[in-house]
Amino acid sequence: MTLPKLLIATRNPGKRREIQQFLDDLSVEIVFPDDVGIYESPQELKLETESTFEGNARAKAEFFQKRSRLPTVAEDSGIEVLSLGGAPGVRSRRFAMVQPGQDEAEANNRELLRRLAGAPPDRRGARYRSVAVFIKKLDALPHVFEGSCQGRITTEPQGTGGFGYDPLFHSNDLEKTFGQANPEEKNAVSHRGRAFRALAKWLAENPL
Ligand code: ITT
């Protein structure tokens, strides 16, 4: 039996690993852009110009659905620090201006610690947010699934697990950083876990 394909429109290996697990039980064949011959193009860099996670996720989902003609999910996510007015937010990936070849996550983490230098615990509150947008076919209404999780920014990196800001994000649920958590622990409480479990439930009830 051939399963219907579901395109997960991300090029981030950390997200890719996690999302695959959340959708494991569905009767679909998960594919990523390269698997269906959609290779990274300069046009993609211009997609994430909206001011909301939903706007960016929707722009990515529409772009990849049009090119692949497959049911498509895209996700936009980031970390919001309350005392920084919600920054880096939708700019999480590009918080520090990195030179080509530089380690993006390391530079972003350093920038976040610099911005919070000397800040007491009550000014280090943060949350991760994830918004996943599913588009089944051309011009179909997008379906939106959201998740968030609360924590605070540590004063130095702790742990080497996860990706991106994980060594700095001390989770209220786990009482340790996502960098110190194993994948199962992170996935159980993470913003992405919450958003994609909601999507998986919806797809189980509304098969492709
Ligand atoms: P795609 O657009 O290809 O999916 P991306 O990395 O560009 O990949 P985003 O624009 O959504 O994705 O940026 C999200 C950034 O937020 C990501 O690069 C990390 O810096 C950060 N982030 C989001 N979720 C995270 C998580 O679970 N752990 C650590 N950092 C995370």
Asked if residue 187 has its Cβ within 6 Å of ligand 1, the reply is no
Q: What is the pLDDT of residue 206?
A: 96
Asked if residue 77 has its Cβ within 6 Å of ligand 1, the reply is yes
User: Residue length, the chain?
Assistant: 208
Mean pLDDT of 13-39: 97
Asked if residue 50 has its Cβ within 6 Å of ligand 1, the reply is no
Q: What is the pLDDT of residue 169?
A: 98
Q: Any idea which residue has 């201006």 for tokens?
A: 97
Query: For 129-165, what is each residue's pLDDT tens digit?
Result: 999 999 999 999 999 999 999 999 999 999 999 999 9
- Structural domains of the chain in order of their starting residue, each with its CATH number: 5-205 (3.90.950.10)
Q: What is the pLDDT of residue 97?
A: 85
Return d(Cα 145, Cα 53) in angstroms, integer: 11
DSSP secondary-structure letter at 2? P
Measured from the Cα of 11, ligand 1's closest atom is: 3
Return d(Cα 86, Cα 81) in angstroms, integer: 5
Q: Which two tokens stand for residue 36?
A: 């269906």
Q: What is the pLDDT of residue 141?
A: 95
Find residue 131's DSSP bridge partners.
76, 146
The number of beta carbons lying within 10 Å of the beta carbon of residue 50 is 15
What's the predicted TM-score (pTM) here?
A: 0.97
Q: Give the active site residues.
A: 76
Return d(Cα 141, Cα 137) in angstroms, integer: 9
